[in-house]
Amino acid sequence: MQSIIETLSVPVREGVDVIVVGGGIAGVAAAVAARRNGASVLLLEKQALLGGLATGGLISWYEPLCDGKGEQLMFGLPEELLRLAIRYGDDSLPSIWKKQKAQIDKRLVSKQINDPIGGRYATLFSPTMFQLALDELLEREQIQIRLDILAVRPMMDKLRCTGVCCESISGREFYPAKVVVDATGDADMLYRAGAPCEEGRNYFSMVAHLNDTSAKPRAIKLRRWDSCGSDLSGNGHPANKPTVAGTTNEEVTAFLLDGRKALLDKLRNDDRTQRDVVSLPSMPQFRTIRHLCGAATLRESDCCVRHEDSIALVCDFERPGDWYEIPWGCLFNDKFGNMLAAGRMVSAQDWGWEVTRVIPVCAATGEAAGTAAALMAQHDVSACELCVNELKQKLTEQGVRLHFAKKERERILP
């Protein structure tokens, strides 16, 4: 491929302690956590709306915060954001979880994830109302936001990131920062900084929201998902279509256009008076694109394994009873000390990657990354140099549960 060399004069904007690149759930959680821990924060989002796949991507299912046996495992920002998602819109929260901090009658717990009484601590939500609530949250927390802006590349001084170059209607600008949290979903900043990353493979799939106009039940039931292509395991993936990584513009474009074509083909012969397509996704619904190869890697073999440097205890959204403790090293590569990963692109493999990519776990790694970023900026240290003991203490004070056994919850590294 031919290339050109550009020489540009780029204006430098006011610097901050922490830049978060990506305004999905992980990025929002990182920005809020960093701000609450005293850092000045700038959040950069390439879309016009916040929330990422949960909102613009129409994946409006907030996966479980409990283990499927009536025990809540996830607190802190994962729970705060679930409650925010349904503050102004309808929900499908099972009745045993309606009231926060209520004593759960485990006799009512159901094996059915969506049981209206004893299902898991999870819910459907309105993506549009969640978008508005996220705006309100970030305004209240006094977080600087730039929307419709593309973070082009990190500026590196050897292996240290000094800030992020962006493109928008204002042209190219440089935003300095002490710490950068990459919450892009595809490790754009870390990859372009030179950090080792690994690509995923995605089956063909697309979710739209349809409105059943033949009856008038509650709004959350009126809106339904309509899926084209495969399920999580690849069932339904077209035999002649290769899986894609989603790391080139050509792949992204084809994925979006093919998905919309498949939906129209599916619906074109329906009775048009009995349904309406409410929303189409405004972003590609890839499950796994590219993730960091970090100082530690979460794997399926880590299921129900204790990690002394855990920064979050998380649920398995599909396998009731299973849980994971995410090691601190999953959020950074030790050669790129002032850059952190949050969300579906933390260092994880096989089923561990599936576990870390869903909404509540993105919120959990976002909260951990934002808290760590604030501490790193405050102490002027790299991720490797940060005291894990201090990070765990901060997270515990924020209500985060770090370990599975209750009696060990407050234990801190020596």
| 101-155 pLDDT per residue, tens | 888 999 999 999 999 999 999 999 999 999 999 999 999 999 999 999 999 999 9
| Sign of the CA dihedral running 390, 395, 399, 400 | negative
By C-alpha distance, which of 363, 282, 414 is closest to 30? 363
**Residue 251 region, left (φ>0) first, then alpha (ψ -120 to 50), else beta?**
alpha
Predicted pLDDT at 250? 81
Confidence of residue 220 (pLDDT cuts 50, 70, 90): low
* Crossing angle of the two packed helices 127-140 and 76-85, in degrees rounded to 10: 130
**DSSP result, 321-343:** T-EEEEEGGGG--TTSTTEEE-S
Please give the pLDDT value at position 139: 93
Residue type at position 118: G
Q: Amino acid letter at 338? A: N
Domain 14-200+288-414 indexed as CATH 3.40.50.150:
no
Q: How far apart are the C-alpha atoms of 187 and 181, rounded to whole Å? A: 10
User: What tokens does 75 get?
Assistant: 């607190």
pLDDT for the residue numbered 411: 35
Position 406 scores a pLDDT of 54
Residue partners of 231: CB distance under 8 A and separation at least 6: 205
pLDDT at position 192 is 96
- The answer to whether 34 and 17 have CB atoms below 8 angstroms apart is yes
Q: What integer pLDDT is reported at residue 413 of this predicted model?
A: 40
189-200: average pLDDT: 95
Strands (E), 158-302: 160-168, 171-182, 197-199, 205-212, 223-229, 275-279, 290-292
Indicate whether 390 pLDDT > 90: yes
Give the span between the Cα atoms of 292 and 380, in whole angstroms: 23
Number of H helices, E strands in the chain: 9, 16
Is pLDDT above 80 for 407?
no
- Between residues 399 and 244, the one the model is more confident about: 399
Q: Which pLDDT score, from 0 to 100, does residue 405 have?
A: 78
Find out whether 27 and 363 touch, Cβ atoms under 8 Å: no
Residues in CB range of 35: below 8 A, 6 or more apart? 41, 141, 142, 143, 370, 374
Average confidence (pLDDT) over 34-53: 95
What pLDDT shows up at residue 314? 97
Query: Tokens at residue 54, please?
Result: 């949960």
Q: Given this model, what pLDDT does residue 222 score?
A: 67
Residue type, 228: C
Instruction: Give residue 412's pLDDT.
Output: 37
What would the mean pLDDT of 201-206 be, rounded to a whole number?
Answer: 86
Summarize pLDDT for 168-186 with one digit per residue, the tens: 989 999 999 999 999 999 9
pLDDT in the model for residue 214:
66
What is the token pair recorded at 41?
Answer: 């924060």
User: In the chain, where are the structural domains located?
Assistant: 14-200+288-414, 205-279
Q: What pLDDT is stored for residue 41 in this prediction?
A: 98
Token pair for residue 337? 């000390």
Average pLDDT over residues 181-197: 96
| Residue 202 DSSP class | B
